[in-house]
Amino acid sequence: MTTHGGRRSAWGAVALTLALATLVPLTTGCSKDVDDALGYTPTTLAVDDLRAKTKSVSSQIYDMIGIKGGKTTEPGPGISTCEEDPEHLILSRHPWSLYDVPQDDLKQGFQRLREELPKRGWKIVEYGPNKSAAKTLELTADSTTERYSVNAELHVDGPASETPKILVHVVSGCFRAPEGTDLNGVY
């Protein structure tokens, strides 16, 4: 798992979850080797459609947190290629944070997220303090209906220089780009 200064990165946790998760099978034509490596057959989705789909999933996560009036970071979802077939497969990542609200609101929002995810078709696969020095509360969940995972961290009660926030990282599984799509510079 990826670490940064002894702290597990959100992407590392989400990537591991995606690699290990058994999600709803989706079908389309794809080589057997890639299908075997992924554990599923990727469906075809245009780059802009994947970006919009990921933005929608992030919005659902934001709504589950249920904090109004805070600030969120920009930009929106990014697209990159999947290492299993970088000439044809893409995935989307959307890291963002919610901040500029009282710590108690963040704590309540994080608890709401933990409670709402299972009600809305997500399976929590990891929950608890992470391995950072601060023992940051973290959760990772996989959608049971779509090829998405989310990792969220609650950053409160940390160093005075750190802004209290909820860090969220939404990541998709791999999708096949339509034939003829130039995947150079889709990030």
Per-residue confidence (pLDDT) for residue 124, from 0 to 100 = 98
User: Is 112 exposed, middle or buried (CB count within 10 Å of its CB: 0-12, 13-18, 19+)?
Assistant: middle
Buried b (16+ CB within 10 A) or exposed e, 32-53: eebbeebebbbebbebeebbeb
pLDDT value, residue 39 = 87
Q: Nearest to residue 36, comparing CAs of 90, 86, 80, 84?
A: 84
Q: So where are the chain's domains?
A: 3-176
Label residue 47 left, alpha or beta by phi (over 0 means left) and psi (-120 to 50 means alpha): alpha
So what's the pLDDT on residue 88?
Answer: 93
pLDDT for res 37: 83
- Residue corresponding to tokens 């929590």: 124
Complete DSSP assignment for 139-157: EEEEESSSSEEEEEEEE-S
Measured CA to CA, the distance from residue 127 to residue 138 in angstroms comes to 6
Give the count of alpha carbons within 13 A of 12, CB side only.
11
Dist. CA 120–CA 114, nearest whole Å = 11
Domain over 3-176 is classified CATH 3.40.50: no
* Helices 103-119 and 47-65, axial angle in degrees (round to 10): 120
pTM metric for this prediction: 0.80
Averaged in consecutive runs of 10 residues, what is the pLDDT profile of the chain (187 residues)? Answer: 35 40 37 77 94 97 95 93 93 96 96 98 96 91 96 84 90 95 79
